[in-house]
Amino acid sequence: MISRERVISTLNHKIPDKVPIDFGGGRTTGISGFAYDNLIKYLKYKETARIYDLFQFLALPSDKILDLFKSDIIQIHSLKPRFGIKIDKWKKMKMKDVVFEVPHGFSPEIDNDKNLIIENSNYKAVFPKNSYYFDYTKVPFKNVKNKKSLDNFFKNWNIVSEEDIKFIEIYGSKVRSNSDFATMWTFGGNIFELGYTLMDYQIFMEKILTDKKLINYYLDKILERHLENLKKYLPRIKNFIDIILIADDLGNNMGLQISPTLYREIIKPREKEICKYIKENSASFILLHSCGGVGELIRDFIEIGIDALNPVQTSAMGMDPVYLKKEYGKYLTLWGGGIENSTLTNGNMDYLTDEIKKRMEIFSKNGGYIFSTIHNIQANVCPESIIQTFYSANKYGKQYL
């Protein structure tokens, strides 16, 4: 099988020739630029880490790395994945004594404490000098009081342009014509997560209980813009997109962030509208990224048309690998869950290999599994662990099908 056939067979719950591998196929299965820099230096590859996702500071894997790890999935990039900054031109910039290629329009301010700052009238994001990615410190709706202020913001927020669509068209067509990869486009489509990101987490959580009328209006505005953008994108890009990644972080390590009842009342119906539109207007599979202990909602995900779930955060409450495979493996492709983050960072190669072998034995039986790490590989993961992870995943990717 070629990569695309392998991935599509898996998503259709047919047994592939081996478990598909995802390294950097999306913005939730990628690698920190700092870890990537260490990796290419260890391998003595003559390349510079290129940072396409500035917020998470994720590197764009080179063809050489994708080939080394036998990755089956490649990301079809949007023109402005973060902060409205285009990724069509690049420049070199030094950060924490490492030289990266960054988008040409990335020109953060530097404060007196040497923190990097990106700011406009709606938000402020800070890259602390002791951190490895940005955090929002100012958001547009922390003090929102009425519908009028929401209407004014959404008039101009996140409107897809012809330039945006054309970029994906050219990029995606080139990938489809020149490779056998399965293709994945990160649409996002967040409802819950974007709700609290734009409003401030505490304020949003208070208002979903104390001012549901305003919250419902607010979330309808978000949904409206998502659907407007899909209507512009899909007719032009659907022929070369195999998987559309949507994201809504509904859980944490201790379980859900909101009750199942509240999810089904205000979030699920809107997620369902997004999935319905994608299914009715493309042949793409839908991958949902939702961190944490989301086990109580997996049947809901299946009901609204989700084909695969990522990152399968097995350390979180209610996310036992054996249980997930047994209960949902016939209906949902599990995408991730390949290795605990703590195992990746502890440097014990024998333990790491054994854990991946066990995960493959659980998840890959009868198909319906795509291997990736649990979320992005963080900055402190050593090259040896990364290499051993994907060597082991490929080694055991046929054994238990």
pLDDT at 145 over 90: no
pLDDT of residue 370: 98
229 pLDDT band (50/70/90 cuts)? very high
Domain count of the chain?
1
Q: What residue type is 219 in one-letter code? A: L
pLDDT digits 0-9 by tens, 340-362: 999 999 889 999 999 999 999 99
In a domain, 264, yes or no: yes
In a domain, 57, yes or no: yes
User: Which CATH number characterizes residue 180's domain?
Assistant: 3.20.20.210
pLDDT digits 0-9 by tens, 264-305: 999 999 999 999 999 999 999 999 999 999 999 999 999 999
In a domain, 109, yes or no: no
In a domain, 43, yes or no: yes
49 pLDDT band (50/70/90 cuts)? very high
As a whole number, mean pLDDT of residues 353-374 equals 97
In a domain, 119, yes or no: no
SS3 224: helix
In a domain, 123, yes or no: no
With b meaning 16 or more CB within 10 Å and e meaning fewer, what string describes 309-319? bbbbbbebbbb
377 C-beta neighbours (distance < 10 Å), count: 27
Task: For 244-286, give the DSSP string.
Answer: EEEE---EETTEESS-HHHIIIIIHHHHHHHHHHHHHH---EE
In a domain, 307, yes or no: yes
pLDDT at 146 over 90: no
**Residues 400, 337: Cα–Cα separation, whole Å:** 16
Segments forming the whole domain that contains residue 20: 3-91+141-395
In a domain, 124, yes or no: no
pLDDT at 144 over 90: no
Rounded to two decimals, the pTM is 0.97
